[in-house]
Amino acid sequence: MKNLIRHLLFLFICVSVLSTASITFGASKDNASNGREIYTPAPKPEPRLNGPLVYGCRPGHPFLYRIPCQGKRPISFDAKELPKGLNLNKETGIISGITPTKGEYQVVLLAKNTKGKSKRNFKIISGDKLALTPHMGWNHWYAHYDRITDKMMREAADVMITSGMADVGYQYVNIDDCWMNAPKNNDPKRVGPLRDENGNMVPNSYFPDMKGLTTFIHDKGLKAGIYTSPGTLTCGGFTGAYQHEEQDARQFAAWGFDFLKYDWCSYGRIAGKDKSLEAYQKPYRQMGTILNSLDRDVVFNLCQYGMGDVWKWGAEIGGHSWRTSGDLGFELDRIFDVALKNSEYRAYSKPGEWNDPDYIQIGWIGNANKMGVPEFSPMPPAMQYAYMSLWCLMASPLIYSGDMSKLDEFTLNVLCNPEVIDVNQDPLGECGQVIQRDKETFIMVKKLSDGSLAVGLFNRSKKESEISADWSELNLKGKRLVRDLWHQKDLGHYNDKFCATVPAQGVVMVKIAKK
Ligand code: GLA
């Protein structure tokens, strides 16, 4: 009885807010037959400029940026106040050249087609910092494991453009482990000399032309990432950088890579019993210093699963992001727990310094336990929206790791909503805070640079649930416009709370406007 009264009271409160209150989400039922509801309307034909509002780079280094823009091509681009040294290709929207001298350059991007036009601010900050917003891109690991080839990398780059992913900001095309030779492997084509007579690393026979590969990626305006380990061998048993760190880093830069994932793995044997902070830091400090001395911007991603509280020192040794935990591929049934844990390190999330809870694994992915071939993700569709919402609210790097050749409409819908991505790329770089939590539900709130709040109402239970975000908990007062970000729809003005019916294992994600 008490429960019934509480329930009725809750419903009453919900319907008594200024506008129509409780909303059941799940607009388009087009894909509903297979349970995969498409939440977000398709992009319109008129141009819509997307992407980060700030961009960090180092003076005198090569510069490359493909302006993310949706809409029907051909689109003609323009960039007002582009600093000297940079050139825009007005047809492709690719800006290239040499990064200008230290300073802040407020550029205005413009895009136009026969249907309309779009305008967006883009501040280039030339200085010491890179990755002023979380990196966005793709990594091969959870799709292709030790089956990766140059051909698949090129295909991924192609699809990043043709699928529209690059038009909402995805730009890194990153190779993970297994591109080098191994001393032994089931596949003889991945076995060969680890280094040449000069000590240079030798890629395996599936990667005949590393420079050609990065050129292919760069020609599309995208960036290329590579992987190695400070140990003698990588996790997959391939050549690592031990005692060749500088030589390898210079080789990566000469090949044209823009991103390095540095994976602890067999370095454990070198560190031995030394569990001191210095021992954890040593290989990363060394590589951070080397990367800093290169004449190329290389984003440095630390992969050591959170040892020694890496979030406390990752930035100081030159890292731009650091994994906060083990491989998420083994914990896909624990997305909510992993995210809640990651959000505990929110104080360490800042522009150029990101907590990394691992990749977005949706669509066609291979089972991590057996390094399997890609299969369609069994994760409930609502949970996939929750997954992406959490990564955006936490300002986590958005690196998709599924089979690019099999991207379907639903998966692309989850990956490519620019309003949701704007939350991830917000210049403040804040990681959302959990303000309300019980066994089944929680709310995560992220402050945005325009004074608004992004709020995720999360329901972990297997039944839909009503969740209410009260203004008192959000430090808000008065009437506010609430916008549903997944459905890209204004819901109206709310006076003292926002409540919604949240799908089982799903999310409702809204933006609450500044006054
Ligand atoms: C570790 C990392 C993964 C992946 C593999 C490659 O497990 O955490 O992200 O890079 O190694 O072997």
In angstroms, the CA 183 to CA 237 distance is 8
CA nearest ligand 1 atom 8, residue: 327
Nearest-atom number in ligand 1 for the CA of 358 is: 9
314-325 burial, b if ≥16 CB within 10 A, otherwise e?
bbebbbbbbbbe
Ligand 1 atom index nearest CA of 359 = 9
Domain boundaries, the chain: 2-31+432-514, 49-126, 136-424
Which residues line the pocket of ligand 1, CB cutoff 6 A? Answer: 141, 176-177, 234-236, 263, 303, 327
Distance CA 260, CA 100 (A): 24
- DSSP SS3 for 129: coil
Architecture of the domain defined by 49-126: Sandwich (2.60)
Q: What is the DSSP letter of 163?
A: T
Rounded to 5°, the CA angle 50-54-55 comes to: 100
* pLDDT tens, the chain, 515 aa long: 444 444 444 444 433 333 333 333 334 444 555 789 999 999 999 999 999 999 999 999 999 999 999 999 999 999 999 999 999 999 999 999 999 999 999 999 999 999 999 999 999 999 999 999 999 999 999 999 999 999 999 999 999 999 999 999 999 999 999 999 999 999 999 999 999 999 999 999 999 999 999 999 999 999 999 999 999 999 999 999 999 999 999 999 999 999 999 999 999 999 999 999 999 999 999 999 999 999 999 999 999 999 999 999 999 999 999 999 999 999 999 999 999 999 999 999 999 999 999 999 999 999 999 999 999 999 999 999 999 999 999 999 999 999 999 999 999 999 999 999 999 999 999 999 999 899 999 999 999 999 999 999 999 999 999 999 999 999 999 999 999 999 999 999 999 999 999 999 999 999 999 98
Supply 301's token pair. Answer: 């991603």
CA 514 – CA 101 distance, rounded (Å): 36
- Which CATH number is 2-31+432-514's, of 1.10.3720.10, 3.20.20.70, 2.60.40.1180, 2.60.40.10? 2.60.40.1180
- pLDDT score recorded for residue 32: 52
Q: Which run of H or E residues covers position 40?
A: none
pLDDT number for residue 20: 33
Residue ID of nearest Cα to ligand 1 atom 9:
327
Expressed in angstroms and rounded, the spacing between residue 221 Cα and the centre of ligand 1 is: 27
CA distance 177 to 227: 6
Q: Which SS3 state, helix, strand or coil, does residue 32 take?
A: helix
Q: Which residues pair with 462 in a beta bridge?
A: none
Q: Which pLDDT belongs to residue 35?
A: 81
Q: What is the DSSP string of 411-466?
A: HHHHH--HHHHHHHT-TT-PPPEEEEE-SSEEEEEEE-TTS-EEEEEEE-SSS-EE
Best residue for ligand 1 mutational test, from 140, 141, 174, 234 (most atoms within 8 Å of Cβ): 141
Neighbours of 446 (CB within 10 A): 26
The H or E element spanning position 279 is: helix 277-292
Give 3-state DSSP helix, strand, coil % of the chain, rounded to 5. 25, 30, 45
The answer to whether 128 is a known catalytic residue is: no
The single residue of 327, 470, 490, 496 carrying the catalytic annotation is 327
Instruction: Residue 112: name the closest of 88, 82, 91 by CA.
Output: 91
177 alpha carbon – ligand 1 mean position (Å): 7
| SS3 of 146-160 | HHCCHHHHHHHHHHH
Query: Which tokens go with 1?
Result: 């009885």
Ligand 1 atom showing the smallest separation from residue 327 Cα: 8
Distance 267 CA to ligand 1 centre (A): 13
Instruction: Say if 2-31+432-514 and 136-424 have the same CATH topology.
Output: no
Does domain 136-424 fall under CATH 3.20.20.70? My reply is yes
Q: How far does the centroid of ligand 1 lie from the alpha carbon of residue 358, in Å?
A: 10
Give φ, ψ of 75 to 5 degrees.
Answer: -120, 140
Contacts of 9 (CB under 8 A, 6+ apart): none
pLDDT at 515: 84
In sequence order, the 6+-apart residues with CB closer than 8 A to the CB of 422 are 50
Classified as helix, coil or strand, 123 is strand
Write out the H or E segment, with its range, that includes residue 470. Answer: strand 465-470
Preceding omega of 74 cis (within 30 degrees of 0)? yes
Cβ atoms within 10 Å of 2's Cβ, excluding its own = 6
In the residue annotation, 327 being an active-site residue is answered as yes
Cα(403) to centroid of ligand 1, in Å? 17
423 Cα to the center of ligand 1, angstroms: 27
Residue to substitute in 148, 176, 328 for testing ligand 1 pocket (most ligand atoms within 8 angstroms of CB): 176
Closest Cα to atom 6 of ligand 1: 177
